């Protein structure tokens, strides 16, 4: 599947080919901290299919929970996480939130579940609203 994407401020844009059947959720503690959220959703891409169209991301390098070297790429202007590569640059994991076609993508597996926050599997019963505004229409209780 051909995708396009970029950061929140628009300074960085990219395109790639991905396999939608390989979308995954990672619950590792690194992904929690790097996203500022409960987990990260990633679309793997082959390096030869990934092209930066505009902008130049900054890189942060760290050994992940697995012990492997992980290079995290993000926008230097807005801080949006964009993608990661392994230490050799052989694998790219594109952050689904940065993909323009993200509504068409559904995760197919979850990894590092031993680090998952205890409430992530039970958010369905929470009240749902179609926006953040006071008095927003409730979608379901």
Q: Give the pLDDT confidence score for residue 133 in this predicted structure.
A: 66
Read off the pTM: 0.86
Query: H-type helices in the chain, by residue range?
Result: 29-35
Residue 56 belongs to domain spanning: 2-140
Q: Give the pLDDT confidence score for residue 102 in this predicted structure.
A: 97
Q: Please, are residues 6 and 98 in contact by the beta-carbon 8 Å criterion?
A: yes
Q: Please, are residues 110 and 23 in contact by the beta-carbon 8 Å criterion?
A: no
The CATH number for 132's domain is: 2.170.150.70
Picking from 136, 47, 127, the residue whose alpha carbon sits closest to that of residue 84 is 47
E strands, the chain, are 2-6, 13-17, 24-26, 40-45, 51-54, 58-63, 69-74, 81-86, 92-95, 109-111, 128-129, 138-140
Q: Cα–Cα distance between 56 and 53 in angstroms, integer?
A: 9
SS3 130: coil
Mean pLDDT by 10 residues, the chain (141 residues): 97 97 94 92 94 96 82 96 88 96 96 94 86 66 55
What total of structural domains would you count in the chain? 1
Cα of 56 vs its chain's centroid, Å: 18
Q: Give the pLDDT confidence score for residue 66 in this predicted structure.
A: 73
Q: Give the pLDDT confidence score for residue 65 in this predicted structure.
A: 67
């Amino acid at each position: 599947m051909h995708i396009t994407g970029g950061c929140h401020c628009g300074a960085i844009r990219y395109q790639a080919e991905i396999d939608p059947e390989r979308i995954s959720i990672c619950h590792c503690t690194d992904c929690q901290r790097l996203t500022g959220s409960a987990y990260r959703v990633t679309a793997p891409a082959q390096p030869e299919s990934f092209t930066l169209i505009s902008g130049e991301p900054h890189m942060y390098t760290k050994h992940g929970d697995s012990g492997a070297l992980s290079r995290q790429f993000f926008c230097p202007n807005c801080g949006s996480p964009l993608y990661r590569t392994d230490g050799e640059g052989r694998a790219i994991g594109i952050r689904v939130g940065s993909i323009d076609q993200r509504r068409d993508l559904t995760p197919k597996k979850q990894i590092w579940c031993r680090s998952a926050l205890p409430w992530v599997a039970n958010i369905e019963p929470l009240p749902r609203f179609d926006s953040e505004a006071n008095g927003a229409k409730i979608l379901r209780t």
